[in-house]
Each structure stands twice: as C-alpha cells, then as structure tokens.
Amino acid sequence: MENEKQEFTITVYTENQVGLLNRIAIIFSRRKINVESLNTSPSEVQGIHRFTIVVVESKDVVIKVVRQIEKQVEVLKAYYNTNDEIVWQELALYKVLSDEITEKVKVERLLREFGARAVAIRKDFIVFETTGHREETNKLMEALAPFGLVEFVRSARVAIIKESAGFHEKLKDFEKREPGDELIENEYLGKREAVFTM
C-alpha cells in the first residue's frame, strides 16, 4: 500500500560538505518525519560519503523526501528501500557489573547464544559487544537486565542494498544525464531507486 507506513532505509551518496547534514535534517523536520537512525560514513568511492537514514513513513512521502534530498547540490544519488531489500546490522554495547556477571554461569551460555563478546574487562564492570537487528540486540539487553546491566547503547544502522551494483559503476551513467521532473522506479539500477528523467 502506497500510503501505509513502514520502515524505509534511505541511502544518500554525497560529496562531504559542511552544512549538508543540517540541510538534509531540515527536509525531514519540515515534513514532521522522525528520523529513527542516522549514520554517515565514507563510501567505496574516494571523496564520496554515504548517509544511511531510517524512517517509518508511507512510500509516497519517502519518494517526495528522496526527491528533495536529490535537489541538494552536493547529493549525487539517493535510494529508498524496504528492509527485505537490504542487508543491515546495528552494533550494541552492554555494560554489566563484574560482581554480578562472574557469579552467574549461565551468562556465558547466554552470550554465546547471541554471539556477544567481551570488549573491555575492568575490576568493576565488563562491556560486551554484539551486532544484529534491533530485535536481537533488544533481546540480549532484556536477558542481561537481571545480571547487573547498568548501561546499553546501540549504533545507527549500516546497510547495503541487495540488488544494486557498486555506486562507482552507476556514477558514470548518471554523469551523462541531466535531472528532470519525472520520478520513475528503475529496477535495473536497484529496487526502489529514485531516478529523474527528462
């Protein structure tokens, strides 16, 4: 359904310019869209950065947002995808009191079950790390709560689009085109990709 809200991941390839993040944030705030997660990182192309933005919205609204993002001078391309069209992970850290955790033998089994590992061991606390989907990292948080969990933090989402080729290949094609007003979905270049045509 076009108007039914669901989770979308918006991927934006951009030149790394001061002030761009603020302008992108304004696009979401003007439409009263809450950003669930935001990550920025270098991409596979030197000098090109990648924004990964998670929102819960209708497809119609997401298309309009992607359109507005692509109007920014420094933005080279923007995509939108549903969760089944991407491979994604989040990193989580859990700080647990040492006295509590070392006395409980079943904690070790619990950590193995969730693929967690210790990344810092101190006299008074231990920090565990794991990666996964939000539901998985939340389950481990709930499971560690009775064992002296004092702090929990989760990173923003990192995601890769399943169907798309590397951006550096597409960049050559996009450099030959001028943006127009019509928005189409181009299956060849990757599902849910917003492409402007003349």
Tens digits of per-residue pLDDT, 111-131?
889 999 999 989 899 999 999
| Region(s) of the chain under CATH 3.30.70.1150 | 87-154
CATH class in words for 6-86+160-197: alpha beta
> Boundaries of CATH 3.30.70.260 in the chain?
6-86+160-197
Residue 108 pLDDT > 60, yes or no?
yes
Q: What is the mean pLDDT of residues 77-104?
A: 89
197 pLDDT tier (thresholds 50, 70, 90):
very low
pLDDT of residue 186: 42
CB-CB contact of 130 with 152 (8 Å): no
The reported pLDDT for the residue numbered 193 is: 46
CATH 2.60.40.1180 fits 87-154, yes or no: no
> How long is the chain?
198
CB atoms within 10 A of CB 120: 11
Least confident of 17-21, 76-80, 179-183: 179-183
pLDDT at 77 over 60: yes
Q: Does the pLDDT of residue 167 top 50, yes or no?
A: yes
CA-only gyration radius of the chain, Å? 20
pTM for this structure?
Answer: 0.78
Location of structure tokens 């560690």: 144
Cβ atoms of residues 123 and 149 within 8 Å:
no
Q: Averaged over 171-183, what is the pLDDT?
A: 50
Give the pLDDT score at 183: 46
pLDDT for 48 equals: 87
